[in-house]
Amino acid sequence: RAVPRRGSMASTSTSVIPAALALYYSLESAASRGLSREELGKLLDESADFLCGCLGSYRAPSPNSKAEVESGSVHYGGEIRTLNVSVREVTIAVSGKLALDEVQAYALLRRCLAEDGAPMPTSLDAGLAQRVTTHYFRERLGVLKCVHALLMHAQNDGDLAEHGDNGAAMTKTLERLLGNGLEANLVDGLCAHLRGENAETQPTDKTLQSPFLSKLWATQSLEETRVMLECVFLMYYDRRTKCS
C-alpha cells in the first residue's frame, strides 16, 4: 500500500496548530491544573482533527500557502494577520528550513517568539533557527504524546481517582480519532519514518554541518519512532479500540 503524502490525511482545520505540549500536560494532570471536564473537552475538541492526522497534520510547503504569506495577509485561527516584508521573508525561510507549510510556519514562529517574549525578527539568524527548530521538534513530539496519553487512558479508564470526570472527555476524543482514521494515519506515519520517506526526517547538508542540529535531528527521529511504536502497540493491544 502506498504511503500517503504528508498533508493528505489532514482536514482543512489542521491549518490551526494546537499547543501540543501544553495539551499533553493538561491530559496528564488536568485535575491538578484545575481544568474542568468542559474546559478539557473544549481543548480536545479544538485539537482532535490535528491529533488524528498525527505528524501528517504538519503539512509540506505549498504554492498557495507561500502566495498567502507573500501577499502580507494571512488567514489563521479565524483572524487575518498582517505581515510586513521582513516577517514574510523570515516566515518563508523558516518554512524552507523545516519543510513546513508556510502558514503553519508563520504560526509556529509566532508561538515560539511569544514563549521567549521576543519581538518579530528581521532575519533568520543561526540562533533563531535553532530556537524555532527546537520548538517545532518539541511540538511534533507533543502531538504524538497526546495520542499516547489518550491510548494509555483507554487502558486505565477504570481508575477514576486518576482522571475523574475528565476521563469521559478523553474517551470521547479517542473514539472520535479512531473513527476518523487514526489507525491508518499512525501506521502509515510510522512506516514512512522507518523507511525514511518523510522529507522532514531527512537531515539537510546544512543540518549535518551543525553539531547542535545534527544531534537534535538524530534524537528527534528516534524519539518520534519510539513514541509511534508505543502508540501502535497500545492501539492494537486494547481490543476496545476496534482497529481493523
What is the rounded distance in angstroms from the CA atom of residue 132 to the CA atom of residue 98?
9
Instruction: Examine the pLDDT at 137 and tell me if it is beyond 80.
Output: yes
Strand partners, 75: 80
**pLDDT tens digits for 92-113?**
999 998 889 999 999 999 999 9
Residue 233: its pLDDT value, please?
92
E strand or H helix at 79, and its extent? Answer: strand 79-82
Q: Comparing 36 with 172, which gets the higher pLDDT? A: 172
Residue 167: its pLDDT value, please?
81
- The confidence band for 12, taking pLDDT boundaries of 50, 70 and 90, is very low
Which candidate, 103, 36, 95, places its Cα nearest to that of 75? 103
Which candidate, 27, 16, 123, places its Cα nearest to that of 59? 16
Mean pLDDT, residues 166-176:
88
Look up the pTM and report it.
0.86
Residue 77: its pLDDT value, please?
77
**pLDDT tens digits for 39-76?**
888 999 999 999 999 999 999 999 999 999 999 999 88
What is the rounded distance in angstroms from the CA atom of residue 104 to the CA atom of residue 12?
12
The three cell numbers of residue 231 are 502508540
